[in-house]
Structure 1
Amino acid sequence: MKRRLRLLALLLALSLLCGCWDNKELDEYGYVQAIAIDMINDTQIEITTHFYNPSSKMEMGNVGGTAPKGINIVTSGETFFDAMREIPAKFGRKAKWDHMRVILLGEKLAKSLNIREVLDFFSRDHEPRGTILPIITQNSAGSYLDIKPFIEQTIGQQFKRMELSGTQYSAETSSIPLYQLAIQLSSPSKTSTIPYLHIDGTEPKAIISGVALIRDGKMVGILKEQDTEAFMMLTDKYKSGVLEFPCINNVHHRIQDKESLEVLSFNSRLRPSIQGDAVHISADVAIEGTIGELRCSHLKTSKDVEHFEEAITQQVEKQIQHLLTLLQKKKLDMLGIGNQIYRRNPKLWRQLEPTWDDLLAESKFELHVDVSVLSTGMNAGTLFGTKEK
């Protein structure tokens, strides 16, 4: 009798368990790797959604070849949701957004519309992750998703790796995830930078270098590679890279008369202060590295090394000063000076905010650069194949 009661209780418990009433099959979804958003006219946007293709079937007419791992579906509408609703009708699957790598924004759209409105869906919906990387493209964004990846399976993953590696190893761009972009755009300075994707040369090969300047949600300019490197220095985002500088006493000003330092350690600090009605900013930069290339210097004594370090210091100061002049001329607080003042003294910031652009344009920078050469990279301070005397 007890055995029957136990069996009955077990059957009743099993009847309360959930079944597969809400199951979703894999073939119901298309997994998005990247998306490109362009502006068609004043009322409509066009989105190109790049899906991962799990199929390994051979392409028709391509013996021995396999189908591409990326599939582009183009839709349009007055809003992002409007354009997104067309995807199932054209693709036969519902878009799944939680594996997306990058968001490409066309240059025309970034200059005309507030990108806060364009990116609102990706922060509001539960599927997209805050680590997605936004990128602004030269001209229209959609065409970049037609480019074949070099080594990654999809061009979305390829662009992600290009942005992260360019930030980490060469400081030619500045990587920023979606959540951090939202923080910067809502900061007191209301400025941010987004990596810039453009065509390199005449061939359809893309490169991520430089950054687009964003103020109050709209693109207002571009920093090229050299200025981006200086920007990374002043914002203490510089991880590693190579500094090039002209040879000492380079009277011919030849391009090949340049030497280089591989940066191993980098630290910088900005300290703003308000003195009366003027803004003073102190910038301290410390660089340590090893010699990457010698072409005309001979580092035999400590005096030679000091002259060598001074040449690097002058080049870095010149590069940083060029960036500062550019930002002051455009009245752009891309370095987040206003953010620092706000964090330290919100009341003071409220007083400065109405005229902040003009105050920033007239601010005084005091720059200190310290360069240390740790090693020549080999047990010689002379040019390769040159005998020491």
Structure 2
Amino acid sequence: MKPYRWLPFGLALVFLSGCWDQQLLKEERTISIGGLDQDESGMLRATVSIRDDFAVQTAVEDKNEIHTVVARSTQNARQLINAQVAGNYSAAKMRVLLFGEDLVRNHDIMPYLDAYYRDSRSPLGARIAVTQGAAENFIRLKKVGTRTIGVFVDQLLKSTKDMDITPNVNLQTLHPLDRGYDFCLPYLTSSNGIPTVDGLALFSGVTMTGKLNIDDSRLYLLLSDVKSKNLTITLKSVNREQASSYDFVTFAVHRFHRKLRVSVSQNRIKATLQLKLKVYVVEDPSDHLYKMKVMHQLEKLLSKELTEKAEQVIYKMQQANHDGFGIARRLMSYYPDFWKQINWNKEYPRVSFDTRVSLEILNTGITE
């Protein structure tokens, strides 16, 4: 037989050969959500929820099992959990990683993520959030309605991201390759046994130092120049000293332009922040916006109120030493000599902010 006739067989052997390092899903126990807390002993307390893959594949009732261990590190926790489960422990399909508030307020968050960054099969798209109280308490809810806790929290965080309440943050975005700004994470509370997003946990460097509520979170994202798709804001429109449902107006942000300028003069740092919003009114109980004079008055009133709220948000950020706008990065780039001379942790709370928010109503709806 001529040599070239063996060529098809040789190619078949190359392309049809099996994988020597294959890992079968049926032999693994995959977790959907994990949580890390500080144990009373000072050690790491890790909790995971493992979904029943057989139940998922056969469309029967979705079930999960909970395991908690006290470990020296994240990798040690994996080893201890692997000794408790029937099968090979795997975090490859983890949807959410929760951190208890006590842990991230008292410790550097990055060492607990090191094991994930070193593992080629890590779920870098897994969402991250901070919980009020222990993360274990949230995971031990097991189910919310018909969904397991991992699926529910994952969908909850996705929906708040889509509604521009929380930023798009996951294991990959937290990788410490690029610094010069501080990150924030969704903050979860429990309302009648149901996990609820209650704003943002602010970090200074790698530890949590403060919080923002839901309303402040929306404005924080705009001030941080995060693109908005479905952001709506409800503000007082008239009679600000009284509480009445007729005195509020809700608008959707159609477009916005944010401009930030950082300058240094006489060793003083000044940040000029301008935010221009173009909005659609989606609810106005007073129903007076068909009058141009009233609409222009409302634009001025809302612009003033948004400016005041923006100043309050920035004050909370400085109190928490949270540089969410990347002021430090601009100083590193444009004032490197000055940057080398200062103590940023002491200097940032003294940064002078000149903040202005303006609002223009483009559309008041289809009704008069």
User: Structure 1 pair 296/86, CA: closer, same or farther in 2 (3 Å)?
Assistant: same
Cα drift, residue 124 of structure 1: 1.3
Match of 1:195 among 186, 195, 213: 186
Residue matched to 2:289: 299
2:316 to 301, 320, 326: 326
- Report whether the alignment pairs 1:316 with 2:306: yes
Aligned CA distance change for structure 1 residues 152 and 232 (closer, same or farther; 3 Å): farther
Cα deviation per residue 1:192-221 (whole Å; 9 max; x = unaligned)?
Answer: 211111112xx1011123111212321122
Structure 1 residue aligned with 2:363: 375
**Greater mean alpha carbon deviation, residues 18-27 or residues 98-107:** 18-27
Task: Note if 1:177 corresponds to 2:142.
Answer: no
Alpha-carbon spacing, 1:314–1:151, altered in 2? closer, same or farther (3 Å): farther
Distance 2:337 2:168 in 1: 32
Cα drift, residue 253 of structure 1: 4.1
Identity of aligned residues (%): 21
Alignment check: 8 A CA contact 2:124 2:172 kept: yes
8 Å CA contact 1:248–1:297 kept in 2: the answer is no
CA distance in 2, matches of 1:4, 1:343: 64
Change (3 A) 1:182 1:108: same
Q: CA deviation at 1:86?
A: 2.3
Residue 87 of structure 1 contacts residue 94 of structure 1 at CA under 8 Å; is this kept in 2?
Answer: no
The match for 1:157 is 151
Structure 2 SS opposite 1:371 = strand
Matched residue, 2:196: 207
Q: Does 1:222 align with 2:211?
A: yes
In 1, Cα distance between equivalents of 2:217 and 2:303: 18
Does the 8 A contact of 2:204 with 2:321 survive in 1? no
Identify if the C-alpha distance between structure 1 residues 113 and 362 changes in structure 2 by more than 3 Å, giving closer, same or farther.
Answer: closer
Please tell me whether residue 289 in structure 1 is matched to residue 288 in structure 2. Answer: no
Amino acid at match of 2:336: P
CA-CA distance at 1:18 after TM superposition: 5.1
- Structure-2 separation of matches of 1:174 and 1:299: 33
Map Cα deviations across residues 300-325 of structure 1 (whole Å, 9 max, x no partner).
33322211111211221121011122
Give the match for residue 82 of structure 1. Answer: 76
AA of the residue aligned to 1:55: F
Which of 128, 133, 136 is matched with 1:134 structurally?
Answer: 128
Show structure 2 runs of 5+ residues with no match: none
CA contact under 8 A between 1:172 and 1:209: conserved in structure 2? no
Partners in 1 of 2:50 and 2:333 — Cα distance? 42
The structure-2 alpha-carbon separation of the partners of 1:74 and 1:213, relative to structure 1 and needing over 3 Å to count, comes to same
Q: Which amino acid in the other structure matches residue 173 of structure 2? A: Q
Distance 1:5 1:154, change over 3 A: same
1:279 aligned residue (269, 293, 297):
269
What is the rounded CA distance, in whole Å, between the counterparts of 1:369 and 1:220 in structure 2?
Answer: 26
- Deviations for 1:129-164, whole angstroms, at most 9, x for unmatched residues? 322211111111112123355578432232222222
| Cα distance in 1, alignment partners of residues 3 and 223 from structure 2 | 77
Q: Is the 8 A contact 2:251 2:281 kept in 1?
A: yes
1:286 Cα shift? Answer: 1.5
Q: Describe the shift of the 1:93–1:343 C-alpha distance in structure 2 as closer, same or farther (beyond 3 A).
A: farther
Q: Higher mean Cα deviation, 18-27 or 122-131?
A: 18-27
Q: 1:33 deviation in Å?
A: 1.5
Q: For 2:322 and 2:21, how far apart are their aligned partners in 1? A: 51
For structure 1, list consecutive stretches of 5 or more residues without a partner in the other structure.
58-64, 381-389
Q: How does 1:1-389 map to 2 (within 5 A)?
A: 2=1, 22-56=21-55, 66-147=60-141, 149=143, 153-169=147-163, 171-183=164-176, 187-189=179-181, 191-200=182-191, 203-237=192-226, 239=228, 240-250=230-240, 252-254=242-244, 256-296=246-286, 298-352=288-342, 354=343, 356-380=344-368
Provide the aligned C-alpha RMSD in A: 3.1
